[in-house]
Amino acid sequence: MKAALFDLDGTLVDTTELIFQSMNHAVTEVLGEERSREELMANVGQPLPAQMKYFDAGRADELLEAYRTYNDEVHETFIASFPNVEESLARLRDAGIKIAVVTSKRRHSVGLALDSFPALRDVVDHFVTMEDTTEHKPRPEPLLKALELLGGVSREEAAYVGDSPFDIEAAKAARLTSVGVSWGAFTGEALRAANPDHLVSDLDAAVDVLLNL
């Protein structure tokens, strides 16, 4: 095991409520509709432009603009931390394992998250954002880009950790070990349906899995 790749939203940073509130605002403001939490969160993990097309393909740009404007405004109100993230990642670093974050967020939004939790910069070697690849999760390209940035780590020497079925699908497409985590936006049942190689309920357990691969 030479590299551990992590999703950001719902995996290392608790943005579930932030995303929900932003989705709800965008759909209500632009479409004048009420959607269930389940429907609003069903495609979290894919890039935002793709998610907005599920609500209304013809008004996806308006939805995206409303989401991003509101998300920036309330970012500090709703973003929250998960326990022991930096300490858990430091265990991997101490074991000589390289770390990358692979997210569908744009670079601007990743920067806001890092402003909230600057210690992540000290334990993550590289961040792959939406702008860094032309294809996005659940396609494998962002994960393969991370392996390239980490010095050409092979697929067999890496794993991807994420909280959505799209993360697991991306790991499988890239032929990486997949680790699903159940503390984010999706239930353990939804993750089990995606058939991850491992499913864990806290970050320390995920690190234990990675250290024993």
pLDDT digits 0-9 by tens, 73-116: 999 999 999 999 999 999 999 999 999 999 999 999 999 999 99
**130 and 112 within one domain:** yes
Give how many domains the chain has, as a whole number: 2
**191 and 89 within one domain:** yes
CATH number of the domain to which 41 belongs = 1.10.150
CB atoms within 10 A of CB 82: 17
pLDDT in tens, 52-62: 999 999 999 99
Considering the chain, what is the average pLDDT of its residues?
97
**61 and 85 within one domain:** no
Residues of the domain holding 64: 16-78
For 5, 129, 187, the CA distances from 117, given in Å and listed in that order, are: 18, 17, 25
User: Are the C-beta atoms of 102 and 153 separated by less than 8 Å?
Assistant: no
User: Are the C-beta atoms of 102 and 141 separated by less than 8 Å?
Assistant: no
Which residues belong to the active site? Answer: 7
**9 and 114 within one domain:** yes
**110 and 186 within one domain:** yes
**140 and 67 within one domain:** no
**149 and 48 within one domain:** no
Residue 117: its pLDDT value, please? 96
**162 and 199 within one domain:** yes
172 pLDDT band, cuts 50/70/90, is: very high
- Mean of pLDDT values over 194-198: 98
42 pLDDT band, cuts 50/70/90, is: very high
% of the chain exceeding 70 in pLDDT: 100
**181 and 148 within one domain:** yes
